[in-house]
Amino acid sequence: MTRAPFSGLFLAVISSLLLLATMGLPTANAAVSIELSDCRISAGPGSPSLAARCGVLVRPLDPANPDSESIDLSVAIVPALSLDPAPDPLVVIAGGPGQSSISFYAAFASAFEGVRRDRDIVLMDQRGTGQSAPLACETPADSVVEGRMEKETVLKEVQKCLDELPYDPRFFTTSVAVRDLAALGDALGYAQFNVYGISYGTRVAQHFLRRYPQQTRTVILDGVAPPQLALGPDIAIAAQAALEAAFDSCDEQPACKEQFPDLRNEFLFLRGELKTNPVDVHLLHPLTAEPTTLSFGYNELAGAVRLLSYHPSSVALLPLLIHSAATGNLIPLASQFQMTAANVQESMSLGMHNSVVCTEDVPFYDDVISDEDEIAATYIGVFQLDLLKSMCAIWPAGLIDDDLKQALQSDKPVLLLSGEADPVTPAHYAEQAAEQLTNSLHLIGKRQGHGLAIRGCTPDIIADFVRSGSVAELDVECLERIHAMPFFLNFAGPGP
């Protein structure tokens, strides 16, 4: 495969204007079909696999030019358990941006088993991710996303990544991805989709509803990103709030409070020490068991705490890991960070991530940053924000629909899911997204993090919602019985 030519700012701007002029409204998709065959899908090497039917959807790289270079998009269908399934399947869209929807589903399939009783599950790796014309780079994704390198080094790696891409990255945005989804429905013969999106996937799901309302039956938004919001500036603030919530929760539990009575000050001490004196941590890599040395400083601490704040099971470790690090043992915290960051690196398509963020978020930062001092006061600070701005000065902006950043108006049934302690898409994001969704319901999981679908009885609620096609009369009282995992008081396991 050869890289599509694009050079010079003038050419990029003129080309984008011409392409956008032809992308104002959805157009009919050419009649295509997908040949499916038996396959196995999984979350990655060593993970359990699931039976599916797999195929390839062939799409033009440039959606405005059917004669442009074609790309193959990886498709998988997990058949319904029913012999007579409903005609409208569930489409699952992963987050990131940059994650494979097929791998995401394989990892969290139990969240959708209730839906699968009656409906097929349709999966397609969004262009640029997984096996769909991946925009892969050798640069470790966790290093760039979490700021583990010096800024100058990151920018060199980003430019190297850009130079090595097999495709023009301007065609790997949300505005193009929803056209691929519509084409997928046509190719498979489905008149309507039920759509589930998580995190960045909620942006795709909302824009699909906006552009193709007749092809949308219901929508589930899990960890909601309002379309009108530029993601990035508020992440540090939301992450700080999630960490404070973890500290508060520890203080409210007598055993945790007794074991870690000065947790906030220990964290502040640790931040100060690592900011001026990074530590070389010698450990066995948690995934390979190979001896390794990790330079662990302020940025690594911020990355570790943020990554561990996503899920209740890792939040349960935070007090113990922070206390151990503050009292001289950095190995447990560094090991957890290394393991989580390795998973991020393996699952993230850095090129696709940059194409989305540098088109749909960073150019709009000036409209949303009101108090940079507030961001600077968080444990993440402004480093990540500055880094994204610098990266996107290099990365070309892609195709974006004129209405992508507008609030979504719809009377279609929409179920919004939030975690009370979500460090990246806090619950008030969902409230903002729901302002003009006149047939919606917002559910919040107490002390839950990012992604509610897998937690407690939420899979049953999702199944009931898709089955009925209505937010009315859903039994949601069971959410009150979802509890966060008890904090680990020592390395033997969680407390009572």
pLDDT of residue 155: 84
Place of tokens 């795709």: 204
End-to-end CA distance of the chain: 57
Q: 427: which 2 tokens? A: 């619950």
41 forms beta bridges with 50
**Residues of the chain falling short of pLDDT 50:** 1-30, 141-142, 144-147
Residue 246 domain-assigned (yes or no): no
Using H for helix, E for strand and C for coil, what is the string for 163-183?
Answer: HHCCCCHHHCCHHHHHHHHHH
Query: Which of 305, 320, 347 delimits the end of a domain?
Result: 347
Residue 235's alpha-carbon distances to 52, 345, 375, in angstroms, are 36, 20, 9
pLDDT of residue 9: 30
Residue 202 domain-assigned (yes or no): yes
pLDDT of residue 368: 66
Say how many domains are in the chain.
Answer: 2
Answer yes or no: do 113 and 20 share one domain: yes
A 10 A CB-CB count for 153 gives 13
pLDDT of residue 338: 82
CA–CA distance, 275 with 288 (Å, rounded to integer): 29
pLDDT of residue 424: 92
Answer yes or no: do 76 and 221 share one domain: yes
Residue 491 domain-assigned (yes or no): no
Query: Which of 330, 347, 364 delimits the end of a domain?
Result: 347
Name the residue range of residue 455's domain: 9-142+166-229+401-481
pLDDT of residue 17: 30
Residue 132 domain-assigned (yes or no): yes
A 10 A CB-CB count for 139 gives 20
pLDDT of residue 139: 59
- The CATH number linked to 449 is 3.40.50.1820
pLDDT of residue 19: 33
Residue 4 domain-assigned (yes or no): no
Answer yes or no: do 104 and 32 share one domain: yes
Answer yes or no: do 282 and 343 share one domain: yes
Residue 253 domain-assigned (yes or no): no
pLDDT of residue 376: 86
Answer yes or no: do 309 and 432 share one domain: no
Answer yes or no: do 224 and 88 share one domain: yes
Cis peptide before 97 (omega within 30 of 0): yes
Answer yes or no: do 69 and 216 share one domain: yes
> Comparing C-alpha atoms, which of 332, 349, 330 is closest to residue 128?
349
Answer yes or no: do 196 and 283 share one domain: no
Phi, psi of 29 (to 5 degrees): -85, 140
pLDDT of residue 370: 59
Q: Report the amino acid identity of residue 162.
A: L
CA–CA distance, 93 with 126 (Å, rounded to integer): 8
Answer yes or no: do 35 and 97 share one domain: yes
49 forms beta bridges with 42
Residue 356's alpha-carbon distances to 70, 127, 326, 466, in angstroms, are 20, 11, 38, 29
Residue 91 domain-assigned (yes or no): yes
| Residue 370 CB-density burial (10 A; 0-12 exposed, 13-18 middle, 19+ buried) | exposed
Answer yes or no: do 43 and 83 share one domain: yes
